[in-house]
Amino acid sequence: MNEDSKHPTSMSTGTSLKRRFRKHLRSYSIQTAFIYISLMVCALLFLIPFYLIVRNALMTQLEVTSFNWHWWAQDPQWDNLNTLFNDLMAPMATGLMNSALIATLTTAGQLLFASMAGYGLARIPSRWSQPIFFLVLLTMMVPGAVTFIPKYMVVSDLGWVSTLQGIIVPDLFSGFACFLFRQFYLNFPHELEDAGRVDGLGYFGVYWRLLLPNSVPILVALGVISFISSWNSFLWPLVIGQDPSSWTVQVVLSTFITAQTINIPELFMGVAVSIVPLVILFFFLQRYIMEGVARSGIKG
């Protein structure tokens, strides 16, 4: 009697749980589908510029300027790549080599100087640490246009106009990089540093042997950001690099645009070639970029 009276209750409870589970599963599926669809739409929007670059790079001048839309080149002009590197008025190969050298040296210098400065501000006790850090933050708030002319005057007085060092040296120091390293080292375990002191290491020994080898995420993240920024720099190399032998790839691309005409396919082919190193770099190191920025934190 008692078992029969309890049976309908257990049945209704089980049915209720199944309904709630199905409702939750349906809601979860809708949310997941919406998220994936949104991500796919965003990915397509970001890929549109790359598609247009490759499409225009393989077209003829007539096809690019035609009012009739074509999704792809009717007869892909792979010779545009050969024309790009054989153009005597626009030394693309020289521009690529100069950009690679400038970006590499600038990145290495920023990582070295910023890591040392960040370590000093974060781990070496001094009453001047906070005021100096405040000045570093102030440098990040000053527009680049304010310091552009003074930098040019200094470079000109040193005789570095139309030289690679004139482009590299002024960008070796970065307030943003110093800020990131300071925040990263503030979160670094003190136990590891204390162990180094017990072994007889000084401040530089702790930095060089302990902290720097364990700073791979922030080094890679900041290195990629610095490399991309230096590679894409245009105005400063344009002003300093007055000789074709010191042109960067961005300056070379600007020579395709003249008062008479614009060679659009060659210009887009140059753009496609110039972004290949950055795409490869970001593709292989994107995990370290996210990890480094996340571990830098906002600790004060």
Average pLDDT estimate for 227-241: 92
- Structure confidence by residue, pLDDT tens digits, 10-60: 555 556 655 665 655 565 677 787 888 888 999 899 889 888 888 888 888
pLDDT confidence band for 298 (50 / 70 / 90): very low
pLDDT at 109: 94
Please give the structure tokens belonging to residue 256: 């395709």
How many beta carbons lie within 10 A of that of residue 11, not counting itself? 10
Average pLDDT estimate for 224-241: 91
pLDDT at 254: 86
| H or E segment to which residue 175 belongs | helix 175-186
- Structure confidence by residue, pLDDT tens digits, 175-186: 899 998 998 888
- Structure confidence by residue, pLDDT tens digits, 68-116: 877 887 878 888 888 888 876 778 888 999 999 999 999 999 999 999 9
pLDDT at 299: 47
How many beta carbons lie within 10 A of that of residue 96, not counting itself? 20
Sign of CA dihedral 259, 265, 270, 275: positive
Mean residue pLDDT across the chain: 83
Residues 6 or more apart in contact with residue 297 via CB below 8 angstroms: 183, 184, 186, 187
pLDDT at 27: 57
Phi-psi region of 200 (alpha: psi -120 to 50; beta: other; left: phi over 0): left
